[in-house]
Amino acid sequence: MIEIDGSHGEGGGQIIRTSLTLSAITKKSVHIFNIRANRSNPGLQMQHLTSAKAVRSICRGTLTGAELGSRELTFEPGEIIGGRYDFNIGTAGSTSLVAQTVIPIAIMAAKPSEITIQGGTHVMKSPSYDYLDKVFVPAINTMGAKVKIKMRRSGYYPRGGGEILVEVEPSKLAGNTDWRTTDSDVSVLIRLSNLQMQIAMHEKKIFVEKNIERIRVIQEQALDPGNAILAWKGFHGAYSLGEKSKRAELVAKEALDEILTTENFDVDRHLADQLLIYTMLAEGKTSFTTTEITEHLKTNAEIASKFIDRKIEINNEKKKAIVF
């Protein structure tokens, strides 16, 4: 059984998700302790629990310690079974993070999967649905994955209530060393839920002033008010979330400033971390440069190396990662 210290490195939920995903795929049992020990709300939260139970369902495994607030988890994987699954976080916990946990597992199944996930689609400290749709899924599909996603309704803090559908076909992953795309212009998507259009107009102006004109505004209804922006170009995305008393111009400027820093790199700093599992599972070499070598990326590399014997080189100076 592989032992994982959940407080190591970045020390967050990514350790849990990566460990469970690779445990299911490699069929190596795992024991995770000190889960989120250094966080203000340590232990398993609802989105972590949902991810863990989702992994157990898809690979018919045995899960011990899967309780709210638990700081210890043991997982013994079984056989991966494709099919239809429905997971409800029950809060505004991130549907995107649950999706990213189960997609690699479903890729390894013998038959296609349709996975419905309910919860938050645009929330703090996680990729938004739009980021998955415009950046993450296109990136993994270039490596041979066959994944489609669709949002049936949006969900914001505090009640969530959003729903996404993830369709995954079994596929063989291949390494990638060329991340060039034909997408040479920045695009922007602004979402408003239960809010006035004037907010989006203030946000749109910030981008237009920088000669960014590929801007789409979507007004929708959700359980709670929400405002989310994604600016993207190729395999770079910048996500910004509106908050109460936060000026619309600031929300837009956060996304704008981040997308403008990605010009000379293959992938953004978040995608670099999210791609690591796929590079470890892919046949052949993968390499990419990224805007920042984050603690998430370093921790993910360490965790992945415990399950899969692949050589990983991370060069802080060149901001480059290579999996041989």
Structure tokens at 311: 């050589």
Q: How far apart are CA 46 and CA 96, in angstroms?
A: 13
Q: Would you say 94 and 10 are in contact if contact means Cβ atoms under 8 Å apart? A: no
Q: Would you say 87 and 53 are in contact if contact means Cβ atoms under 8 Å apart? A: yes
Question: Can you name the CATH fold of 2-172+266-323?
Answer: UDP-n-acetylglucosamine1-carboxyvinyl-transferase; Chain (3.65.10)
List the chain pLDDT tens, one digit each, 324 residues.
999 999 988 888 999 999 999 999 999 999 999 999 989 899 999 999 999 999 999 999 999 999 999 999 999 999 999 999 999 999 999 999 999 999 999 999 999 999 999 999 999 999 999 999 999 999 999 999 999 999 999 999 999 999 999 999 999 999 999 999 988 899 999 999 999 999 999 999 999 999 999 999 999 999 999 999 999 999 999 999 999 999 999 999 999 999 998 778 999 999 999 999 999 999 999 999 999 999 999 999 999 999 999 999 999 999 999 999
Please tell me the predicted confidence (pLDDT) of residue 300: 94
Q: Which of 48, 236, 270, 296 is catalytic?
A: 296
**Can you list the alpha helix ranges (DSSP code H) found in 76-227?**
95-107, 129-131, 137-141, 197-208
Q: At a CB cut-off of 8 Å and minimum separation 6, what does 112 contact?
A: 82, 167, 168, 169, 170
Residue 55's φ and ψ, nearest 5 degrees, are -60, -45
Q: Would you say 20 and 55 are in contact if contact means Cβ atoms under 8 Å apart? A: yes
Please tell me the predicted confidence (pLDDT) of residue 182: 85
The one-letter code for the residue type at 304 is A
Reported pTM: 0.96
Catalytic status, residue 236: no
Q: Would you say 227 and 191 are in contact if contact means Cβ atoms under 8 Å apart? A: yes
Please tell me the predicted confidence (pLDDT) of residue 324: 94
37, 2, 33, 10: which is closest to 299 by C-alpha? 10
Q: How far apart are CA 1 and CA 169, in angstroms?
A: 30
Q: How far apart are CA 93 and CA 56, in angstroms?
A: 19
Helices 197-208 and 248-259, axial angle in degrees (round to 10):
40
Unique residue bearing structure tokens 């990514």: 14
Structure tokens at 143: 């490596």
CATH architecture of 187-259: 2-Layer Sandwich (3.30)
Residue ranges of the domains in the chain? 2-172+266-323, 187-259
| Alpha carbon 190 to chain centroid, angstroms | 19
Please tell me the predicted confidence (pLDDT) of residue 171: 97
Q: How far apart are CA 190 and CA 184, in angstroms?
A: 20
Q: Would you say 30 and 55 are in contact if contact means Cβ atoms under 8 Å apart? A: no
Q: Is 53 exposed, middle or buried (0-12, 13-18, 19+ CB in 10 A)?
A: middle
Measured from the Cβ of residue 3, the count of other Cβ atoms closer than 10 Å reads 9
The one-letter code for the residue type at 298 is K
